[in-house]
Chain A
Amino acid sequence: MPADPVPLLDVRDLCVSVPANGSMIRLVENVSFCVNEAEIVGLVGESGSGKSVTAMALMGLIDSPGVQVSGSARFRGQELVGMAPRALRNLRGGDIAMIFQDPMTAFTPVYTIGWQIDEQIRAHERLSRRAARARTVQLLAEMGVPDPARTAQRYPHQLSGGLRQRAMIAMALSCNPTLLIADEPTTALDVTVQAQILDLLRGLRHSHGSSVLLITHDMGVVAQTCSRTLVLYSGRMAESGPTATLFARPAHPYTAALLDSIPPLYGTRPHRLPAIAGVPPTPQERPAGCAFGPRCAYVHATCLPAPPPLASIGAGQQAACVLPTEGKPLPPRATAQAMQP
């Protein structure tokens, strides 16, 4: 049997805490996952579930006073947690790049996008202005930007949302990162443009050999893009596994309920959607046992004393729920969405 490949990024028991009212609050608790070479991994969850905090912690970008990050995150064997800020800065924009929901956060309004991408390239490589611009124009073209030489001469606000997003991805790719962390990169875009950007992200594995950690709240985006998926709930892992397995046989009641609450585009239209009652708890008001307990249809006594540990379900799937260990796994999804009308 071949040995498992060494993952590009290997995150174990990542915790992020911030001080509030005299005590430390865990925004992210024991998150573990890995990203392999040329793989797209999805990090899904509702707002406030800790997706962005996880990503920012990996990049050393949480600067709130008193923040504590513990656990381990190895990128090509190098430990990122506790790495000197300078070394981290070199890694960012080099081997690891990040893109955001709002491209305006990546660009300064007062310079043309071409100038900004040139500068990014020149910060990491000795290149003449002219050579850098040639690379910029080529990158923009690869990202599907029409008329890239002219587009490079425009200011961020002169571009449409879709073009700005492409320009930001071009800038992120300018230093040939092996890992791209994309935080809700298509959330602000229309579906037809979103489909183009997702297609672009899927292509990066082949065109640039890059891996992507894709952060999203949209189960549809995950299904169409990611080979493996991690579901976060209230700062903790609810479930992780191969995307196809997760969608066909979710092992955590939260994953199952979340999938069921999405209205179907085809097939029978339910009279009422199977909604999940209530709202996710904030980190401050997270209950003692399973964080999903108060909203879970299967909650029982063993769920309440302590957060259920991650149990291995098989074939790379794990769920933080007591049901599988008690021999009462969830049934496969009955309401899987019909493919076609």
Chain B
Amino acid sequence: MTHPTPVLELRDVRKTYRLPHGQRLRAVDGISLRVMPGEMLGLVGESGCGKSTLGRCMLRLDDVSSGQVLFEGRDITTLSERKLRPLRPGMQMVFQNSTAALNPRRSIGDLLAEPLRVHPGPDGRRRAAATITARLHELMALVGLPASALARYPHAFSGGQRQRINIARALALSPRLVVADEPVSALDVSVQAQIVNLFAELRERLGLTYVFVAHDLAVVRQISTRVAVMYLGAIVECGGTDDVLHAPAHPYTAALIAAVPRPMVGAPPAMLLRGDVPSPVNRPAGCRFHTRCPQAQARCSAEEPQLRAIRPNHEVACHYPPGEENPPA
């Protein structure tokens, strides 16, 4: 049996920022993962846990400090910007803040045409004006906006419409991988559902592969086939969406799920975690979660648990996952 090449592969990726006074902030602290074609990976965790940094490293929008990033099997970790350029159309990003991402002084048509003008077409030649215009109309239809939107400016649109425009721009060059950083979290609930549906539709129509960075677990469940849970720069649990969300093996995942305020009266009260997320500058030794973990034991503050499979396609970095009678020595 031949295995398909992952669209994206990370091998022990680290991203460390140097702060004044010789301190180091380990934003991404040794992450390995593979995203297969057609997969939708949800990356969840609380603010500051390194989700956005990891997202940018995936697309080489940030350089990694160590480790390797492979896009469609090709090591892009240290490629120069010039060598990276022909690969850029294949991998695109959608950001949270739909307003900041759009220059207010340029029309939507102009904003969307830019990547099409800058990058050559599939034949290696510059795209003709008529080709670009046709593509702009296609993109509008794809994201559910009227073609008349092309002549208008960003301020004329609501938050949800601007997010559609951002998605259209990310799709302009027909990427195969889309990394979306909190693409719906700034939107109102009634609009959020529209955009969540749009992502699902686009995947079916275009065969895209997604990485979704999000903090809303219900949104992540709707949109992902697999979920990776991050805490202080590392993945602490990873697996099929409902395996992770309905049978969490890491106490942090369990706490995160329990803390989601469910839109129903009479849901069991949340199991409360103590304190806030520690600073990534001074991350706890041993298990990075042990300072807040309700079931920590002596070993947890001494020895760092490694990510290991507890079932097929379900990995956890915890010494004492539930249901394991005899934890490994």
Contact = CB atoms under 8 A, between A and B. Distances in A.
- To the question of whether A and B form a pair in one complex, the answer is yes
Interface of A: 46-47, 146, 160-163, 190-196, 198-199, 217-225, 243-244, 247-248, 257-259, 261-266, 269-277, 279-280, 295, 336-337, 339, 341
A341 B241 CA distance: 13
A221 B261 contact: yes
Pairs of residues from A and B, 8 with the lowest C-beta to C-beta distance, nearest first: A220-B261, A275-B193, A190-B46, A263-B222, A46-B188, A261-B193, A195-B259, A273-B193
Contact of A244 (B46, B262, B266, B269): B266
A222 B192 CA distance: 18
A219 B218 CA distance: 13
Contacts of B78: none
Contacts of B200: 271-272
Nearest to A44: B189
Contact of A217 (B188, B257, B267): B188
Contact of B263 (A259, A269, A280): A259
B98 to A, nearest CB: 13
B264 A336 contact: yes
Interface size grouping (class) on chain B: 35 or more
A190 B256 CA distance: 9
Interface stretch (B56-64, B133-141, B174-182, B271-279): B271-279
A269 B272 contact: no
A265 B260 contact: yes
Interface in B166-194: 188-194
B262 A160 contact: no
A191 B265 contact: no
Nearest to B191: A279
A192 B196 contact: no
B55 interface: no
A192 B256 contact: yes
Contacts of B272: 192, 195-196, 199
Contacts of B267: 223-224, 339
Contacts of B276: 160-163, 193
A247 B264 contact: yes
A233 to B, nearest CB: 10
A217 to B, nearest CB: 7
Contact of B262 (A193, A224, A272): A224
Contact residues of B: prevailing secondary structure: helix
Given A191-B46, A195-B272, A275-B194, A220 B263 contact: yes
A198 B218 CA distance: 19
B193 A220 contact: no
Contacts of A295: 190
Contacts of A339: 264, 267
B264 A258 contact: no
29 contacts: A46-B189, A46-B191, A192-B259, A194-B261, A195-B272, A196-B273, A198-B270, A199-B269, A217-B188, A220-B261, A221-B261, A223-B265, A223-B267, A244-B265, A247-B264, A247-B265, A261-B189, A261-B192, A261-B193, A264-B218, A265-B221, A269-B221, A275-B190, A276-B193, A276-B194, A277-B194, A279-B190, A279-B191, A337-B264
B55 to A, nearest CB: 18
A196 B46 CA distance: 14
Contacts of A192: 46, 255-256, 259, 272-273
Contacts of B25: none
B245 A191 contact: no
A220 B190 contact: no
Chain A CB within 10 Å, residue with most, of B192, B217, B255, B258: B192
Contact of B261 (A224, A266, A336): A224
B158 interface: yes
B228 to A, nearest CB: 17
Contact of B275 (A46, A146, A198, A218): A146
Contacts of B66: none
Nearest to B200: A272
Contacts of B255: 192
Nearest to B197: A272
Contacts of A257: 190
B46 A275 contact: no
A206 to B, nearest CB: 15
B295 to A, nearest CB: 16
A193 B276 CA distance: 7
A279 B163 CA distance: 13
B233 interface: no
B219 interface: yes
Contacts of A274: 193
A25 B112 CA distance: 36
A273 B218 CA distance: 12
Most buried by A among B46, B193, B246: B193
A247 B266 CA distance: 11
B190 A261 contact: yes
B5 interface: no
Contacts of B218: 262-265
B261 A195 contact: yes
B296 to A, nearest CB: 16
Contacts of A146: 275
B290 interface: no
Nearest to B186: A47
Nearest to A270: B222
A295 B194 CA distance: 13
B219 A263 contact: yes
A265 B217 CA distance: 7
B116 to A, nearest CB: 28
B215 interface: yes
Given A222-B263, A224-B262, 13 more contacts: A163-B276, A191-B259, A191-B261, A192-B272, A195-B272, A195-B273, A196-B272, A198-B261, A258-B190, A262-B189, A263-B193, A265-B262, A337-B262
Nearest to B157: A279
A222 B262 CA distance: 9
B305 to A, nearest CB: 20
Nearest to B47: A190
> Which of B189, B200, B259, B264 has the most A CB atoms < 10 Å from its CB?
B264
